[in-house]
């Protein structure tokens, strides 16, 4: 780089740093002032309120006065928070004000120098935009174009012109460390520097090196439903989070972070990605897992298996269990949309017959029987065609009936007190006491009515698996399901159909404030689950990201056409990302050939050592793996994962390795909430979405990864590696592994 240019840029950076500093000082004072004003209002809150409770008018005036004072306080606190937010943003800019510059001349106008950073910065005196937010329309020039003719979209149309310079800066602690002028894609050199780094405990943002194909997904506004098929390490999660930041900026007047929800594969992953948005100066969006949703719905109803236990069963038990094939057939069926249709038909039929209710019982005495409820439901309320309305009318009837019973029982208590010669209370005490006793006794019954617990949904779901609802070729699946339910337990694959059946009865409990749903690792959701989620968020747009090659859950096999089919009458866009940024070219080549049908996945990363496969005797595995951990550590790997197939294998490996290694190692289980780097033992399915400098496959012997169903799991495990991949196996090696290492 020309020395003169370097000097000019250094000078400009210094000026900018001064300006930011000055602005921070000014804003710091504003923050202090606003904070002390808010504190003052809080301290003197009651002095400003006129409290008078002598009559109703005075009470109302007192309430109005409190409300007014509250409003003043909230307004002041909001001002304070706004200023503080601004100060935090400036503090980020102080460290690295910008990361790129483009020189652009709009048609018929003179050239402008556009500096791009994580946030914008305006000169307070001249109102000139000194730094543009990376999400501003003009900033897309940096991501989408090389020098030459270029254009960008704005809300009022397209702007065309000439891009004459594209420059990237590496600024650390306010100092210019490096800069590159890029003629081609976003800076090969800069990108390579980013990719050569080690994995972190928390995922980082990628705004300084977003690639063109990624930028198009991040900024897509055309589609209500955006489906992304991306190879392992192609940046799906990164793109999803950067897209959230973009949408929050673009629609800042109508969209807040709590209007968006991210469905992620597990809680460790939630922790792993939790820093990206705050790093970009945005509040985190809501994060959840489908499992969490299930758990909320199943409180105390029945003990429901979780997705990991289902997977452990399928991975571990296999043919040794006589019910394995029946279970697999059941899963295939219960996760399909045709099964959903069956549930719909069943719910429809329940309007005519078959509703089951739990009676209302008080001390072994039936107050409202199941038969009574059935009669009301099918005779008195028969004209109500829509099931949820009919259920709600029945509920009203039950509440009224309970009230009658309560009054009767209350009278009985009262009589008893009256007739008790030893009772010394007054008339009004007798009334209050009998009333309180009846209320206490009826509280649980009222709750049963209010929470619709009188619907015997488990019973009805169970009956769904008996003739005539059951196709004859699913008789064994039906029996197997009924057995489980009779034991007070439920298979994971029954959880979503059960929730759906319940929602069909009581009306879908939709979540309307959510305007955008992001589903990561979407390949692991069944069509039934996705349709259920779609119905749950009727006002939301969707970004659905996945990799069909990493589908590890045994669900009905998913296809993007199938997902597309769920969203009729909506603008659906499908995009692909086939470049892998995570792993070295050698690892990408290796993992690509694990796939059944090798895909044109392109390695963008740097070069590194060839993955190694080594056979060792079973009893020697812990020793060899421990030695490998040490050698990878010595080669620079800070985070190392020993990936096992199941939790069972992971637990055994952990015990053996703890004995072999002096350094601390972590075992990740489905209950782990926090992701830590260092040395980790983890089952492959929990490693979803995570990455490590070095990955060691604990045992890829034929006995462990033999079948075609294990292929995607092995692929997922190996693609977690950034720089090193070592595969051990005892006995014959898995036929799913490539025959050559490179």
Residue ranges that bind ligand ATP, judged by CB under 6 A:
191, 194-195, 206, 209-211, 214, 230, 232-238, 547, 550, 581-582, 689, 691, 719
Q: How far is the CB of 719 from ligand ATP (least distance, A)?
A: 5
Q: How far is the CB of 191 from ligand ATP (least distance, A)?
A: 6
Q: Report d(CA 276, CA 206) in Å as an integer.
A: 9
Q: Is 174 annotated as a binding residue?
A: no
Helix and strand element counts for the chain (H, E):
24, 25
Q: How far is the CB of 238 from ligand ATP (least distance, A)?
A: 4
- Residue pair 730/615 in contact by the 8 Å Cβ criterion: yes
Q: Is 157 annotated as a binding residue?
A: no
Q: Is 60 exposed, middle or buried (0-12, 13-18, 19+ CB in 10 A)?
A: exposed
Q: How far is the CB of 205 from ligand ATP (least distance, A)?
A: 8
Q: How far is the CB of 293 from ligand ATP (least distance, A)?
A: 22
Residue 336 vs 584, nearer CB to ligand ATP: 584
Residue 237 vs 284, nearer CB to ligand ATP: 237
Q: Report d(CA 669, CA 595) in Å as an integer.
A: 27
Residue 263 vs 498, nearer CB to ligand ATP: 263
Q: How far is the CB of 538 from ligand ATP (least distance, A)?
A: 27
Q: Is 235 annotated as a binding residue?
A: yes
Q: Is 232 annotated as a binding residue?
A: yes
Q: Is 234 annotated as a binding residue?
A: yes
Q: Is 236 annotated as a binding residue?
A: yes
Please tell me whether residue 272 adopts helix, strand or coil conformation.
helix
Q: Report d(CA 304, CA 302) in Å as an integer.
A: 6
User: What contacts 621, CB < 8 A, 6 or more positions away?
Assistant: 653, 656, 698, 699, 728, 730
Q: Report d(CA 482, CA 179) in Å as an integer.
A: 67
Residue 231 vs 373, nearer CB to ligand ATP: 231
- Residue pair 643/698 in contact by the 8 Å Cβ criterion: yes
Q: Report d(CA 376, CA 355) in Å as an integer.
A: 11
Q: Is 481 annotated as a binding residue?
A: no
Q: Is 546 annotated as a binding residue?
A: no
Provide the token pair at 18: 């001064």
Residue 275 vs 392, nearer CB to ligand ATP: 275
Q: How far is the CB of 83 from ligand ATP (least distance, A)?
A: 32
The residue sitting closest to ligand ATP, measured at its beta carbon, is 235
Provide the token pair at 630: 């040490």
Q: Is 385 exposed, middle or buried (0-12, 13-18, 19+ CB in 10 A)?
A: exposed
Q: How far is the CB of 207 from ligand ATP (least distance, A)?
A: 9
Residue 190 vs 490, nearer CB to ligand ATP: 190
Residue 430 vs 722, nearer CB to ligand ATP: 722
Q: Where are the alpha helices (DSSP H) in 2-130?
A: 3-43, 56-95
Taking alpha carbons only, the member of 742, 721, 728, 715 closest to residue 584 is 721
Provide the token pair at 673: 């909430």
Q: Report d(CA 30, CA 12) in Å as an integer.
A: 27
Residue 20 vs 555, nearer CB to ligand ATP: 555
- Residue pair 734/586 in contact by the 8 Å Cβ criterion: no
- Residue pair 630/724 in contact by the 8 Å Cβ criterion: no
Residue 237 vs 529, nearer CB to ligand ATP: 237
Degrees, nearest 5: CA angle 502-504-510: 90
Q: How far is the CB of 283 from ligand ATP (least distance, A)?
A: 20
- Residue pair 357/549 in contact by the 8 Å Cβ criterion: no
Residue 16 vs 226, nearer CB to ligand ATP: 226
Q: How far is the CB of 604 from ligand ATP (least distance, A)?
A: 8
Provide the token pair at 606: 């740097």
Cis previous bond, 654, omega within 30: no
Show binding-site residues for ATP.
230-237
Show binding-site residues.
230-237
């Amino acid at each position: 780089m020309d020395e003169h240019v370097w000097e000019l840029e250094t000078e400009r950076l210094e000026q900018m740093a001064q300006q930011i500093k000055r602005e921070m000082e000014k804003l710091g004072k504003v923050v202090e002032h606003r904070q002390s004003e808010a504190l003052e209002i809080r301290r003197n809150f009651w002095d400003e309120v006129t409290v008078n409770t002598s009559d109703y008018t005075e009470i109302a005036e007192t309430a109005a006065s409190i409300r007014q004072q509250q409003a003043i306080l909230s307004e002041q606190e909001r001002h304070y928070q706004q200023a503080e937010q601004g100060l935090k943003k400036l503090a980020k800019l102080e460290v690295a004000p910008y990361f790129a510059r483009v020189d652009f001349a709009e048609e018929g106008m003179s050239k402008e120098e556009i500096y791009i950073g994580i946030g914008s910065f305006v000169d307070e005196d001249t109102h000139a935009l000194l730094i543009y937010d990376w999400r501003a329309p003009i900033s897309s020039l940096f991501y989408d174009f090389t020098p030459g003719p270029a254009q960008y979209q704005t809300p009022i149309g397209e702007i065309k012109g000439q891009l004459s310079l594209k420059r990237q800066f590496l600024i650390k602690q306010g100092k210019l460390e490096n800069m590159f002028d890029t003629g081609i894609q976003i800076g090969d050199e800069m990108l390579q520097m980013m990719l050569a780094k080690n994995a972190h405990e928390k995922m980082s943002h990628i705004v300084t090196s977003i690639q063109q194909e990624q930028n198009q997904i991040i900024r897509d506004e055309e589609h209500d439903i955006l489906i992304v098929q991306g190879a392992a390490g192609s940046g799906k999660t990164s793109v999803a989070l950067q897209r959230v930041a973009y949408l929050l900026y673009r629609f800042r007047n109508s969209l807040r972070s709590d209007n968006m929800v991210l469905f992620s594969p597990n809680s460790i992953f939630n922790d792993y990605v939790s820093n990206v948005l705050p790093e970009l100066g945005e509040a985190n969006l809501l994060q959840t897992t489908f499992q969490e949703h299930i758990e909320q719905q199943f409180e105390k109803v029945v003990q429901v298996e979780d997705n990991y236990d289902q997977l452990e069963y399928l991975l571990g038990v296999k043919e040794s269990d006589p019910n394995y094939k029946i279970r697999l057939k059941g899963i295939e069926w219960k996760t399909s949309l045709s099964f959903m249709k069956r549930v719909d038909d069943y719910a429809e039929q329940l309007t005519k017959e078959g509703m089951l209710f739990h009676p209302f019982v008080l001390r072994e005495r039936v107050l409202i029987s199941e038969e009574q409820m059935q009669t009301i439901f099918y005779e008195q309320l028969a004209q109500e065609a829509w099931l949820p309305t009919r259920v709600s009318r029945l509920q009203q009837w039950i509440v009224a009936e309970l009230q009658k019973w309560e009054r009767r029982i209350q009278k009985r208590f009262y009589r008893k007190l009256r007739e008790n010669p030893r009772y010394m209370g007054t008339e009004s005490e007798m009334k209050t006491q009998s009333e309180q006793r009846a209320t206490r006794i009826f509280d649980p019954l009222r709750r049963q009515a209010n929470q619709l617990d009188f619907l015997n949904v488990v019973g009805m779901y169970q009956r769904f698996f008996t003739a005539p609802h059951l196709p004859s070729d699913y008789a064994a699946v039906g029996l197997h399901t009924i057995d489980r339910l009779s034991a007070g337990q439920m298979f994971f694959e029954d959880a979503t159909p059960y929730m759906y059946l319940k929602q069909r009865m009581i009306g879908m409990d939709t979540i309307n404030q959510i305007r955008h749903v992001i589903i990561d690792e979407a390949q692991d959701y069944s069509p039934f689950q996705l349709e259920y989620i779609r119905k749950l968020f009727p006002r939301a747009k969707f970004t659905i990201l996945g990799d069909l090659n990493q589908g590890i859950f045994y669900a009905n096999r998913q296809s993007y056409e199938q997902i597309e089919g769920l969203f009729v009458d909506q603008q659906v866009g499908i995009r692909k990302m086939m470049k892998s940024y995570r792993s070295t070219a050698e690892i990408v080549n290796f993992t690509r050939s694990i796939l059944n049908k090798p895909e044109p996945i392109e390695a963008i990363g740097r070069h590194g050592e060839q993955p190694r496969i080594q056979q060792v005797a079973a009893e020697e595995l812990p020793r060899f793996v421990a030695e490998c951990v040490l050698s990878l550590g010595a080669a620079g790997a800070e985070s190392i994962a020993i990936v096992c197939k199941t939790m069972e294998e992971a637990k055994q490996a952990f015990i053996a390795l703890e004995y072999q290694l002096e350094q601390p190692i972590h075992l990740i289980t489905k209950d782990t909430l926090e992701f830590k780097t260092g040395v980790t033992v983890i089952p492959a399915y929990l490693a979803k979405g995570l990455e490590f400098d070095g990955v060691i496959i604990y045992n890829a012997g034929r006995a462990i990864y033999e079948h075609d169903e294990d292929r995607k799991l092995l692929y997922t495990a190996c693609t977690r590696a950034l720089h090193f991949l070592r595969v051990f196996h005892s006995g014959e090696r898995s036929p799913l592994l490539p025959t050559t290492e490179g």
